[in-house]
Each structure stands twice: as C-alpha cells, then as structure tokens.
Structure 1
Amino acid sequence: MEQFLQSAIHGLLATMALPQVGLAAVFIVALVSATLLPLGSEPAVFLLVKADPSMFWPAVLVATVGNSLGGAISWWMGYAAEQAYEQAKRERPPNPRALRWLEQFGAKACLLSWLPVVGDPLCAVAGWLKLPFWPCVAYMAVGKLMRYVLMTASLLWVFPP
C-alpha cells in the first residue's frame, strides 16, 4: 500500500509539472486563493516557472487572470451579501473609517487587492459598496499582475534555475 501511495503521489507531481497541466493548476490555485479562502498562489507559480523558466510569462498571465477572476467572484459575493442584508431590512452598520476610505478612493482601491490578508476581503467590500464592477476588476488585474511579476522574478533571482 505504501508503495502504491508513493507511486501515485510521484505520478501526480510529475503530471502537475507538465506545462499544459501546470498552467491549469496555477489558474485554479490562483482563482481559489483570491476568494476568501486562505490559500497562496505564489508557490504554484514559482514552482512551475522554476521547473520551466520559459513558462514565466504564461504562468504570470494565467495566475493574473485566475486571481482577477477570483477577485471578481469576491466582488459578487460582497454585492450579494449586501443585497441579502438589505432584504432583511436591518439597519446598515455604522460606516467605519476603512469603509469611508474605500468609498473615497472607489474602484482605484482595488489596486491594493494583491495585499495579503486584506486584499481578498477588499474585493468583497467593494462589491458590498456597489463600486463599479469592471473598473474594480481592471484595478484588481493590474495590482495582481504587478504582484506576480515582482514575486516570481524576485524568487527566480534568489533561486536561479
């Protein structure tokens, strides 16, 4: 049984290392990590690029698309949560300082969606506040692209292929 598990794990890892499968894995991990689930996508991007340096731009772009789509999902989750809240006819909670800041900067605040811990909830709050969807997604994509380029390039510089 132990031999079977080792063989299965080795086969799975070998399959995930293939560029065509690796890009799909990077997309899924990036998408899921941009929702409110605690998951980081940078290791998946880095490992794919480390295995095949020619995959730098495809991996970065696929991760950016997946992560931006995950941010868009979070925006819609926030929007739906606000709609459900309004239907329950409760009073809106006091507008704390962070919400006022987000309302002041509008969709441009989504440029910070790449930040750890606060970035993913920021997308949901943007939806809650009904900030314009497409400008929010555009700012999310720019911020996430910059993060992936800088993080992956930095890791490749520290750990050259």
Structure 2
Amino acid sequence: MLLGYFSLFASGFIAATLLPASSEVLLLALAQQGYKPLWLWLAATCGNTLGSCVNWYLGKELLRFQHKRWFPISQAQLAKAEIQFNRYGSWSLLLAWLPIVGDPLTLVAGTLRVRFGLFLLLVTLGKGARYALLLFLARQLW
C-alpha cells in the first residue's frame, strides 16, 4: 500500500516538472482501489508542489547563463514572459496546476525572483485544491 502513495508522490513530482506527465489518472485509480483519500491528497500535493519548487529553483538559476551563446531564451522572450507574469502578478501561481502553462509559470516565477515563501504558499494552495476537488468528484461519482 505504501508503494501506491510513493508512486503517486513520484508521479506528481514528475508531472510538475517540465517533463510531459500526468498524475491525475494514478490518483483516481488508487482512490478507486480503496486507498485513503487524505493520504492520496497529501502524496499528490506534496510531490506536485516539490516538482514546482524544482522549476522555481531552475528559473532562479537560469539567468546566470543568459550571456552564454547556447542559452535557449532570447532577451525579447524573457521580457515578454516578465510582462505576461507581471500582468497577473504572483496570484497567477494559484493556477500553476493548469496543463501546458502551469509548469512554465513556475519557472518564470523563479526567473523573476518571486519570494519563495509566497511561491510555496500559492502553488501549494492551487495544487492542493485541484487534487481535493478531483478526489471529491471521484467520490461523488463512485
């Protein structure tokens, strides 16, 4: 049983990085198999949040290399990302759980040096709410 929770933690972690993955299917499969919803929520939320923290850290360290020739992001792209992020502010981190835009959003937050405490709070709230909603809906449908 412990392996299921660990697998969900790892799945959530990988899904939050820039790698293409999803943790929702595993979450729902484990819920249907009788795993405890609170522990499922905790494993998924912690893994997914930790993966976003890796993105934040990578973003924070990314600018050290912007003067290198191989650096993949132009100054114009960085400026555009900053304008977009600043348009909605740090509160947009509540949406870090969204597919496609969520993972880059956490990377940009690190690049723009969003305070880690604020980052952690907002990302955890958003991701925790998503997993709680999924578990609630799954419970209603079964």
> Which bracket does the TM-score occupy, shorter chain normalised?
0.7 to 0.9
Q: Specify which of 108, 111, 115 is matched with residue 98 of structure 2.
A: 115
Gaps of 5+ in 2: none
The Cα of 1:125 is off from its aligned counterpart by 0.8
- Answering whether residue 50 of structure 2 is matched by residue 32 of structure 1, we say no
Which residue does 1:152 correspond to in 2? 135
The residue that corresponds to 1:49 in the other structure is 31
- State the 1:105 CA deviation: 4.1
Structure 1 position 82 matched with structure 2 position 53: no
**TM-score with structure 1 length normalisation?**
0.78
Residue 44 of structure 1 and its aligned partner are, at CA, apart by: 1.2
Aligned mates of 2:112, 2:64 — CA distance in 1: 10
Pairs aligned (count): 138
CA deviations over 1:15-60 (Å, ceiling 9, x no partner): xxx2x1111001000001000011111111111111115x101101
Aligned to 1:65: 46
Normalising by structure 2, we get a TM-score of: 0.87
Letter in structure 2 aligned against 1:62: A
Matched, 1:103 2:86: yes
Paired residue for 1:12? none
Show structure 1 runs of 5+ residues with no match: 1-17
Q: Does 1:142 align with 2:125?
A: yes
Tell me which of the two structures has the higher relative contact order, counting C-alpha pairs closer than 8 angstroms and 6 or more residues apart: 2
